[in-house]
Amino acid sequence: MSEQQDFAGKVVLVTGAAQGIGRVVATQFAARGAQVALHYRANQAAAEKTLAGLAGAGHSLQQADLTDPTQARQLVETAVAQHGRLDVLVNNAAIFAAHPIAKVSYDEWQTAWTRTLNTNLLAAANVSFCAAQQMIKQGGGRIVNISSRGAFRGEPDAPAYGASKAALNAMSQSLAQALAPHNIFVYVVAPGFTETERVAYRLDGAEGDGIRRQSPLNRVAKPEEVARTVLFLASEGTDFLTGGIVDVNGASYLRS
């Protein structure tokens, strides 16, 4: 089977796929023969641009606010209704909101924690639950969750983000144990700084060189490098990696 056909006949749902890492993940899956259900929350123009750029045919655009449990369920149900099955779920949708404890008000602190946990953790948990029900019915599948090195090293200016990603790691490992008997395998990819639209202002600004120097490679990750790791884990033959967390941070943070 050629490299371009690795995912032929597979259906992949990617959340937060309008731009950034999600866009590149969706693009690479489509290039390998998958049908992609491309989720977005609000940026319809960017999502439609991503959809138009996907190789192959049979892809779909799915809008949902995943912080609403009903919409999270409907996202999976609609994708399955349109595509007939669901082989791979990539939980990529996330937000990052600065809320340094010494500088924000109590109301701002509460708002940041609620929004971040609802988006980065509870939404992924609900979409995973609904996807797992479909995967159990069809005899198997794969879930790849996008975490962050911030889950390990801490995020002093955005502690809710670091906490949400640490909880996502723990949830993933729990689900890996619970779902393995159903032939469903769960993985985590934990990137460091990645060259996306969301952080371009920081990389192009005064702190850019310092950020790049965090890695001995003197650069940040390209989204294509993160996406290739996602596709590897979602491939056949990686069953015994279930529960694993793969760092993609250029040795900018090493954990034991």
pLDDT score, position 232? 98
**Average pLDDT score over residue span 147-165:** 97
**Average pLDDT score over residue span 154-174:** 98
CA 215 vs CA 136, 199, 232: distances in Å: 40, 16, 23
Beta bridge partner(s), residue 91: 145
With CA atoms as reference, report the closest residue to 116 among 69, 166, 156, 161: 161
Q: Among this protein's residues, is 40 annotated catalytic?
A: no
- pTM for the full predicted model: 0.96
Please tell me which residue in 161, 187, 201, 253 is annotated as part of the active site.
161
The CATH architecture to which 3-248 belongs is: 3-Layer(aba) Sandwich (3.40)
pLDDT at 4 over 60: no
pLDDT score, position 5? 57
Domain boundaries, the chain: 3-248
* CB-count burial class (<10 Å; 0-12, 13-18, 19+) for 81: exposed
pLDDT at 1 over 60: no
pLDDT at 2 over 50: no
**Average pLDDT score over residue span 123-130:** 98
Instruction: Choose between 199 and 189: higher pLDDT.
Output: 189
Q: What is the average pLDDT score of the chain?
A: 96
CA distance 248 to 229: 8
Banded model confidence at residue 11, pLDDT cuts 50, 70, 90: very high
CA distance 12 to 46: 19
Give the pLDDT confidence of 72-81 residue by residue, as tens digits: 999 999 999 9
Give the pLDDT confidence of 194-239 residue by residue, as tens digits: 999 888 888 999 999 999 999 999 999 999 999 999 999 999 999 9
Banded model confidence at residue 256, pLDDT cuts 50, 70, 90: confident
164 neighbors 120 (Cβ within 8 angstroms): yes
